[in-house]
Structure 1
Amino acid sequence: MHLDQISTFVAVIESGSFNKASAKLFLSQPTITHRINKLESELGISLLVRGKKEVQLTQEGGIFLNYAKDILQSFQESLTKIESLKSEPSINFGYGFSLKLFMINNVISSITSLNHNTCYNFTAIKDVDVVSNLLENKIQIGFTRELLENDYLEFHLISDEPIYTVAGKKLGLSGNSKISFEKIIDENFIVPSRETLQNDFFITYLEARKANIKFRTNDVEIQKKLVIEGYGISYFTKENIIEEIYNNSIVPLQIEEFANISSPIYLAHRKDINNKMLQNIFDVLSKSIYKKKVITV
């Protein structure tokens, strides 16, 4: 019996169905089914009555559910106590690939003054993986552009950055006047990988209009290089291209359909956060970068 089986069982009951649990945990439905079947096999009992749209607990399942919740709670409490015993406390941060400069320019400068005895670990991950990493306690604080619904997490809007549609100077497009998207629809486009940002507005817009998405990458430096070399049109937050705009190697375009588009940044953490050091970091980041605003999803 493994913790992932137990946590999956609890998630299925709380969600009401395998399908909803799959979306909640960001796992495939076959994975959910396999974990539940394995758990039932190891226990030698049936925990659930499977319906077409929802599941119900068997009598044995109802008894086991209470113990399952106690096991998960005890596990989380043990992690907290073990963490507090470490001579050098550490905090693990996870952030989306596109947020590297945001982390460097905003987050690091805000937290380093808090506690010099704390070790800070920074890991770049896919935005959609922030949720699973938080739930599994691989990270304690996450930064993402994706607002992802989850019953166990809170998301706080800490920044909202303007988006710039740009082209390399070599492409020969002018940024001096407003133009419609139809004027550039025949150009090549360079976008983040879908795995990086699942709900990207621009990708959805381009795909709906059958625009030519020529390049996809999860590396913002490669994305910029392709633009500068004239391989297509792309989009960035200003923080990522301010140097290139200054030296005139990238031209901001005035696309009418993309006026006033911005990209939010959310700080995410578990709702059951009870570590004073984590809470202090969260408070500092919320106040220093933007303003604290709880997002209800």
Structure 2
Amino acid sequence: MFPVNIENIEAFVYVIHCGSFNKAAEALYLSQPSVTARIQSLERELDCRLFDRQGKQIQITEEGKRFLPYAQQLLLTYQKGKLHVHRKKSLPQEFRIGCTVSVSNYTIPELLPGLKSRFPDTRFKIVTGVTDDIVNKVLNKEVDIGFVRNVNHPNLHSVKLYEDPITLYAYEGHPFVGAELLTVEEIAEQPLVFFECGALDWLRIHRVFENLDKPPNIQIQTDNSEMAKKLVIRKAGISFLPELCAKQEISEGKLIPLRVPETDGISLQTNLISNLGEHVQFLNAIIEIGKQLNRQ
């Protein structure tokens, strides 16, 4: 029976995440032969092949797929234990949160009062950016946690916080208001204010119009949901928007949601990320507050 070598486990997880031995070596600051040696050692420990190698191409085996969730859990447990041994007992005086602009506009103001009540002696600093920037800031410890689109990284703990449905909205008095069923062709002919957030899920909105004879009538395109929302209210067009950003205007009757069967189920997922094992108290508090807000 071989003892468990956490470095071999780490190399295996990194190869899966990075897609190659070379890239895993770069991420771990190792040589490629060192990563290969660690994988071979792990294969001897498990008495099975974890990868099929065909030249420079690698493919995970069925045994590797079965072992992967256990490897990820072992690595996470080790990182948590390591940080627990060395953690400071006192809470930080300043807690830095990175988030996308939409989260800063619609989620953080709802969460912060609850966080302040739980951690009254902690100051909170909010930094906004796109998902990739926030991921890098968390990894580099420039911020403590991040609110981002759905991501997966071997050095990060990532948990789904909520999903925000994407819906087509019109202004009061628009001819579509009250229609039971709208076709994609009808929508494409209307002046559209197209909000583009760059998330992969948003590509599904584009695909709705792919098979039409002519492109949709996009009059204005913007990456700012507040601008898109205000343009709809001012009757510049109709727009697909995340539900959270339109919540208040829906209640006031300024924006009217429209049913489009082709876009049912499309939503933007927001994840909460942190370095493995860090800031557990804050993470648990945010998740708990989020659940309370969703029940309201």
TM-score range, shorter chain: 0.5 to 0.7
The alignment status of 1:121 with 2:125, answered yes or no, reads: yes
1:157 aligns with 2:184: no
- What does residue 140 of structure 2 align with? 136
Q: 1:231 to 1:22 in 2, by over 3 A?
A: farther
Q: Indicate whether 1:221 and 2:226 are aligned.
A: yes
Aligned-partner SS, 2:281? helix
Secondary structure, in 3 states, of the residue corresponding to 1:113? helix
Alpha-carbon separation, structure 2, partners of 1:17 and 1:260: 28
Aligned to 2:235, which of 225, 230, 235?
230
Partner residue in 1 for 2:42: none
Q: 1:70-149 to 2 correspondence within 5 Å?
A: 89-99=93-103, 100-105=105-110, 107-144=111-148, 146-149=149-152
Task: Report deviation, 1:93.
Answer: 0.7
| Distance of 1:110 and 1:249 partners within structure 2 | 29
Match of 2:180 in 1: 177
1:169–1:290 distance in 2 versus 1, CA, 3 Å: same
Q: Tell me, yes or no, if the aligned pair for 2:164 and 2:267 is still in contact at 8 Å.
A: yes
Cα distance, 1:21–1:244 mapped onto 2, change above 3 Å: farther
Structure-2 change in CA distance of 1:259 and 1:194 (3 Å): closer
- Cα drift, residue 225 of structure 1: 1.6
Q: CA RMSD in A?
A: 3.9
TM-superposed deviation, 1:121: 0.7
Can you list the C-alpha shifts for 1:139-167, whole angstroms capped at 9, x where unaligned? 211112x2122111122122233332102
Partner amino acid, structure 2, of 1:154: H
- CA distance in 1: counterparts of 2:21 and 2:243, whole angstroms: 38
SS in 2 for 1:139: coil
CA contact (8 A) 1:167 1:252 kept: yes
* Distance across 1 between alignment mates of 2:56 and 2:99: 38
Q: Extract structure 1 runs of 4+ deviating beyond 4 A.
A: 16-24, 51-54, 84-88
* Equivalence for 1:284: 285
Q: CA deviation at 1:92?
A: 0.9
Residues 227 and 233 in structure 1, CA contact (< 8 A), matched pair in contact too: yes
**Matched pairs, number:** 234
Aligned partners of 1:114 and 1:281 also within 8 Å = no
2: CA distance, partners of 1:17 / 1:161: 27
SS at match of 2:188: coil
- Structure-1 separation of matches of 2:158 and 2:23: 17
Contact 2:195 2:241 in 1 (8 A): no
Cα distance in 1 between the residues matched to 2:222 and 2:250: 21
Q: 1:249 to 1:151 in 2, by over 3 A?
A: same
Distance in 2, Cα, partners of 1:104 & 1:21: 43
Give runs of aligned pairs for residues 198-209 of structure 1, distance below 5 A.
198-206=200-208, 208-209=210-211
Unaligned runs of 5+ in 1: 1-9, 25-31, 41-46, 55-72, 292-297
Contact 1:134 1:140 in 2 (8 A): yes
Q: What CA deviation, in whole Å up to 9, does each residue of 1:106-146 have, x standing for no partner? A: x21221112222111111211232321211112211112x2
Identity of aligned residues (%): 18
Contact 2:14-2:154 at 8 Å conserved across structures: no
In structure 1, what is the Cα distance between the partners aligned to 2:218 and 2:57? Answer: 38
Distance across 2 between alignment mates of 1:250 and 1:261:
19
Unaligned runs of 5+ in 2: 1-9, 34-54, 59-78
Deviation by residue 1:198-233 (Cα, 9 ceiling, x = unmatched): 442444424634434443323221111222222332
Q: Is the 8 A contact 1:17 1:53 kept in 2?
A: no
When residues 14 and 127 of structure 1 are mapped into structure 2, their CA distance, relative to the original with a 3 A threshold, is closer
Q: TM-score, normalised by structure 1?
A: 0.63
Counterparts in 2 of 1:16 and 1:172: CA distance versus 1, 3 Å? closer
Relative distance call for 1:149 and 1:85 in structure 2 (3 A) is closer
Letter in 2 for 1:281: F
